[in-house]
Amino acid sequence: RWRRLLQTQAAAWHLDAAVAFDIDGVLVRGARTLDEGRRALRILGGDNRLGRRIPFVLLTNGGGVSEAAKAADLSRRLGVAISPQQVVLAHSPMQALAAQYASRHILVVGGAGRRCADIARAYGFGNVSTPDDVVAWRPAAWPFMDVPDGSGAGAGRDFARDPFHAVMVLHDSFNFGRDLQVATDVLRSRDATAGGAPTGRQSVPLYMSNSDLVFSNEYPRPRFGQGAFHVCLHAMWDALTGGAALEHTRFGKPFRVQYDFAERLLDRLALDAAPDTSVPQLRARRRIYAVGDNPAADIAGANGAGWTSVLVRTGVFAGGPGANDPAHPAAMVVDHVADAVEWIIDSER
Ligand code: G3P
Ligand code: MG
């Protein structure tokens, strides 16, 4: 009954606009939730001049959790109900690869413990191992750490005989050295196992979920992101092979695949609100705004997708008043996400 009452009281939709919010450096900074983030979502929920709700998605290069877990966490922190269908994580579009690798053995890199392996399994990858499993099988594979928890979990699997078909970096590495070693072992090995003799060529495809060199958390200066891991991986590959090519497929902002995925989620939200309309009709009239803090990811990607980009000063971008990013200029630069949403509402009729 409560839900029905709330639904009847909720403002009508304004489907001519939609917003994609970046998370880190825009709505939150690490463990700290920004007040402006709460305010922005209240405004978008109907507390605005139009008296209407504007659909939104969260479009983040973060990950390492499920879309449902991210939605639940941010709903609690931001004080609004956010559904998993409003969340695009860096690795969300990678689920499209599951058909190709359904039962083929893949190495999943990144994140805490084996959590990313569980995410991959939920996406439909049926045969997943992690660097944790490899080190649990042979601790000497990475001798510079204590034997990991759950040692022996890799047992039963002989990584010297069980080849991989792909290396997928799903999230920031929580153990750069170990993950560089194990990923390089597999990519260089003649038979694509974790222990095989190296050749000069890449054994299997490499997929990466995000290229952010840095991202913003509660620390005063930006921190290394997954892109930093790629730089290290490429540098090691270069040094070991004398410059052989390391092919890779990238996901995450600023790449188009992320924007197409987000746009399909926005279509679905709009169709739920207006079932009588069609996707081409919706798209023809809809302006999509993207609010972000990282010019190289959020602004470059939004500009490339033909969206209206809004850059905030609460994260990676450190330009002062009047400044814009020279390489990836945003349509608008504001102090924080609440100002971004005010500007969006002002731009709408
Ligand atoms: O690891 C997260 C980071 O690279 C970026 O997150 O929300 O700023 O795209 P976000
Ligand atoms: Mg960000």
Residue 310: half-sphere exposure toward Cβ, Cα within 13 Å: 24
Ligand nearest to the CA of residue 294, numbered in listed order: 2
**What does the pLDDT look like over 108-155, one tens digit per residue?**
999 988 899 999 999 999 999 999 999 999 999 999 987 666 555 555
Counting atoms of ligand 1 from 1, which one is nearest the CA of 61? Answer: 9
Task: Check residue 156 and give its pLDDT.
Answer: 74
- In the three-class reduction of DSSP (H, G, I as helix; E, B as strand; rest coil), residue 33 is classed as strand
Please check whether the two domains, 6-90+254-347 and 92-250, share a CATH topology.
yes
Q: Which tokens in the block code for residue 297?
A: 């990811």
Closest C-alpha to 224, from 237, 236, 210, 234: 210
CATH of 92-250, one of 3.40.50.1980, 3.40.50.300, 3.40.50.1000, 3.40.50.1370: 3.40.50.1000
Mean per-residue pLDDT for 83-103? 98
Domain ranges of the chain: 6-90+254-347, 92-250
Tell me, using a 6 A CB cutoff, whether residue 163 lines ligand 1. no
Counting atoms of ligand 1 from 1, which one is nearest the CA of 297? Answer: 9
- In the three-class reduction of DSSP (H, G, I as helix; E, B as strand; rest coil), residue 132 is classed as helix
Establish whether this prediction's ipTM goes over 0.85.
yes
Residue 160 near residue 193 (C-beta atoms within 8 A)? yes
Report which protein residue has its CA nearest ligand 1's atom 1. Answer: 62
**Is the predicted pLDDT of residue 3 greater than 60, yes or no?**
no
Tell me, using a 6 A CB cutoff, whether residue 225 lines ligand 1. yes
Counting atoms of ligand 1 from 1, which one is nearest the CA of 58? Answer: 7
How many Å separate Cα 140 from the centre of its chain?
32
Q: Which residue has the tokens 């040094």?
A: 239
Counting atoms of ligand 1 from 1, which one is nearest the CA of 225? Answer: 4
**What does the pLDDT look like over 170-221, one tens digit per residue?**
999 999 999 999 999 999 999 999 989 999 899 999 999 999 999 999 999 9
- How many angstroms separate the alpha carbon of residue 143 from the centre of ligand 1? 30
CATH of 6-90+254-347, one of 3.40.50.1000, 3.20.20.70, 3.30.450.370, 3.40.50.300: 3.40.50.1000
Report which protein residue has its CA nearest ligand 1's atom 8. Answer: 24
- How many angstroms separate the alpha carbon of residue 103 from the centre of ligand 2? 34
Tell me, using a 6 A CB cutoff, whether residue 110 lines ligand 1. no
Q: Mean pLDDT of all residues in the chain?
A: 94
How do beta strands 106-109 and 166-169 pair?
parallel
Task: Check residue 151 and give its pLDDT.
Answer: 56
- In the three-class reduction of DSSP (H, G, I as helix; E, B as strand; rest coil), residue 284 is classed as helix
Ligand nearest to the CA of residue 210, numbered in listed order: 1
- How many angstroms separate the alpha carbon of residue 293 from the centre of ligand 2? 5
Rounded Cα distance, 164 and 202, in Å: 12
Residue 108: Cβ-neighbour burial (10 angstroms; 0-12, 13-18, 19+):
buried
User: In b/e form, how buried is each residue of 161-199, taking b as 16+ CB within 10 angstroms?
Assistant: ebbbbbbbbbbbbbbeebbbbbbbbbbbbeebbbbbeee
What ranges in 10-130 are assigned the alpha helix state H? 35-44, 67-78, 115-123
Cα–Cα separations (whole angstroms), residue 270 to 34, 85, 109, 308: 27, 12, 35, 19
Residue 253 near residue 59 (C-beta atoms within 8 A)? yes
